[in-house]
Amino acid sequence: MTMSIDEEVELLRTVDILEPLSDEELEALARRCPDDHLQPGEIFYSPYDTSERLFILKSGRVRLYRTTDGR
């Protein structure tokens, strides 16, 4: 289910590092953020990804793995 801009702003407001941002800045950020819904087991980040992102988990769990060559 897609969130409204107001709901996204409220979610962003709960993130500590975004606390200094004004309502207008949070709204501008919310408009640029994708609202992705992932399936269980779906990989959404790899250490080989070249982009820099901030992931905010609204609900659910994330499992982290450390991989080495050959594993």
Residue-wise pLDDT for 9-46, tens only, equals 999 999 999 999 999 999 999 999 887 888 888 888 88
- Is 60 exceeded by the pLDDT of residue 71? no
Which ranges constitute the DSSP H helices of the chain? 5-13, 23-32
**Model confidence, pTM:** 0.69
pLDDT confidence of residue 38:
86
- The secondary structure element, H or E, covering residue 10 is helix 5-13
